[in-house]
Amino acid sequence: MRYTKLGRSDLSVSRICLGCMGFGDAKNGQHSWTIDEAYSREIIKRALELGVNFFDTAIAYQSGTSEQYVGRAVRDFAKREDVVIATKFLPRAEDEITVGISGQQHIERMLNTSLSNLGLDYVDLYIYHMWDYQTPLYEIMDGLNNMVKAGKARYIGISNCFAWQLAKANALAEKEGFAKFVSIQGHYNLIFREEEREMAKLCAQDDIAMTPYSALAGGRLSKRPGETSKRLVEDSYAKLKYDATAEQDSEIIRRVAELADRHSVTMTEIALAWLLTKVTAPVVGATKLHHIEGAAKAAELTLAAEELSYLEEPYVPHTLVGVMAQNTASAAKESHVWSTGNQEIK
């Protein structure tokens, strides 16, 4: 496994981050395809054996049970100082706004709940899961800075935002002397490359780490025509993001398979090897042992410049989908994928 610094932080992270959205109680949350604790532990243990030290979860994943599974496994299989744990918090709920809970209070309550779920005293990276148009940005940045000062979070990151939002937030943090965002977790893979328009340029300029989710497009970049999986069948959210562009994306997927055959590796390795030329550490979900094993191998694979170009050439622009399609003030109160299954915060 190879390692790198997470942006301007002093965190040394594996080039592969294990995404833990697929872990958790399948009867208690947004997804029906998640795996139970026993198998989650096997995958986490195998990831550690392969040198993965970077784990990403969220309070919203299966009502906090993902955090619980991750926390127990990490405590059993690793030393705390040897791993980098990231989790995320949601925007304020309507009932919190109604009773006057501030953004600062909301962040502390959410982080305290996540720490309880994880069984940890601090997280290494605390991530703003999606832009909250109903809470002043000052309250968000001040609240996060308070958590850093309290030692409950070492660094902060952001997810699902536009480049202008990240730039605005870090400018405010610099002005006020607050902690800045050191990473961005956006939607980025071979068949969805809209982050290259502005976000990638901002991150390169300001040394902000890119740790994209959906690195394999919900498994689409790892499957040949006719192959399927429980997630491909049951993940309605991924279908929403990718089914409408399946025809235009098929040529890229065909080329991934072609290069996989040429190198005698899996499609996972080709798709991630391409992404690793663009970002710090992709967040790669795993619901089977071979998923994390293939991801780890990708960190050692180098593609030639002409192969990278061959994979990129068929791409055509995509419209925004998923959470980013709702990143507007008018959509701030609409239901989104993480609106349900959120456990009570303390």
Beta-carbon neighbour count of residue 80 at 10 Å?
Answer: 12
Exactly one of 3, 61, 69, 315 is catalytic; name it: 61
Decide if 61 is catalytic.
yes
Catalytic residues, which ones? Answer: 61
